[in-house]
Amino acid sequence: MAKNVVIIGTQWGDEGKGKIVDLITDKVTSVVRFQGGHNAGHTLVIKGKKTVLHLIPSGILRSNVQCLIGHGVVLSMSALLKEMAELEEADLDVQSRLSISPGCPLILPYHIALDNAREAKRGKAAIGTTGNGIGPAYEDKVARRGLRVGDLLDESLFADKLSQVMEYHNYALENYYNHSVIDYQQTLDEALEQASVIRPMIIDVADEIYTRMSNDENILFEGAQGALLDIDQGTYPYVTSSNTTSGGAVTGSGIGVRDIDYVLGIVKAYTTRVGGGPFPTELIYDVKSDKGDPVGRELCARGHEFGATTGRQRRSGWLDLVILNRSFKLNSVSGICLTKLDVLDELSSIKICVAYEINGMQSKIPPFSAEDYSIAKPVYIEMPGWQQSTIGTHSFDDLPIAAQNYIKKIEELSQLPVDVLSTGPDREETLIINNPFD
């Protein structure tokens, strides 16, 4: 019997989703990306060769898999065409295997200008966006003034709509942000030139999904970022602009809530975060000055914790089961995929946060607001490290006993099974205990 499986990151992103999507697409006919934009970066390593994807679903590296971009994704045509060209240079057939929903909001140059102008104006209070125009594009969508992929099918209508929305945004850029305006004709000409490549890939993605479901095909739904960055459920306002939880697979692709059969929650064996926002278990370390917590330094160095999209250093810290358990509930997680276990290989002891101390009281419920996190102190349990390599281990029983105990403790604290274990960056360095499609 065919299944619909959703893969989401359960932390603040960068959990290693791309590798896992690529890995289990050997059992699917299609992969659907359902939210976010090119601010996401999914890194895949296959036989030592690294590929970084931003918009195109990770199933593109499987020649028999169709890739679909749902209407929940904000689309930069410039970023998409650049990514397509890079993949085609590597002899991958992209255009015939990639379909795009007409409902995708377009990211255009004025969105990028607004994004950067706002961050500059916020100064020290900046959210830490990637500067790619994601937030402003989602704002236009909600305000019902945004241009969508389907508008590219009528050049005259597109030009009229673009003129109206650019008049609105250029006024704000010039008069509020003291920023130079974006040229209308240049924006129009560039968009229409890019549209000539995009138009043949536009299809009713929701209908395509229904057809494949009626044909009893396995479908994988791929999220971007992490659940704790969800615009509604995350650590607001230090969040992204879309629904990164599993519910986003429904709203961003067109399937119904009862169509989801399994949710695989990707969990990094420790915790990282990019940009500002609460992070109770952070082990503060700055790579530029080489100052800070020695374990934070170890996690950053061994985990190569630098953003695939921006190159920014990720903040690193211990695994936090308080906020993770909230994430598991929000996403109806069926099973865990634990990644980057090998990054902990050299540590003599490892901590897991099991509660917060707030005003002298212990709580297993995460605070509601970002401000409340500032007074939340993590309460840890400490476990012995294993101090030997786990890279490439293909049997749970072959793992060091201390590593097995660490995994079992995560299962105990979360009441969820670890169904998949990543033991290195390569596709082949993965232990599948229970395949979500089996």
Strands (E) across 101-211 are located at: 106-107
14: annotated active-site residue: yes
Cα separation of 393 and 415, whole Å?
24
Catalytic residue among 42, 54, 71, 111: 42
151: annotated active-site residue: no
Rounded CA Rg of the chain: 22
Catalytic residue among 14, 151, 230, 426: 14
3-state helix, strand, coil in the chain (%, to 5): 40, 20, 40
> Pick from 212, 200, 205: which is nearest to 252 by CA?
205
Cα separation of 147 and 197, whole Å?
17
For CA atoms 213, 141, 238, 314, give the dihedral sign: positive
Q: What secondary structure does DSSP assign to 290-344, as a single string?
A: TEE-HHHHHHHHHTT-B-TTT-PBPEEE-EEHHHHHHHHHHTT--EEEEE-GGGG
> Pick from 266, 180, 181, 258: which is nearest to 222 by CA?
266
> Pick from 277, 383, 272: which is nearest to 285 by CA?
272
Half-sphere exposure of 35 (CA within 13 A, CB side): 28
Which residues belong to the active site? 14, 42
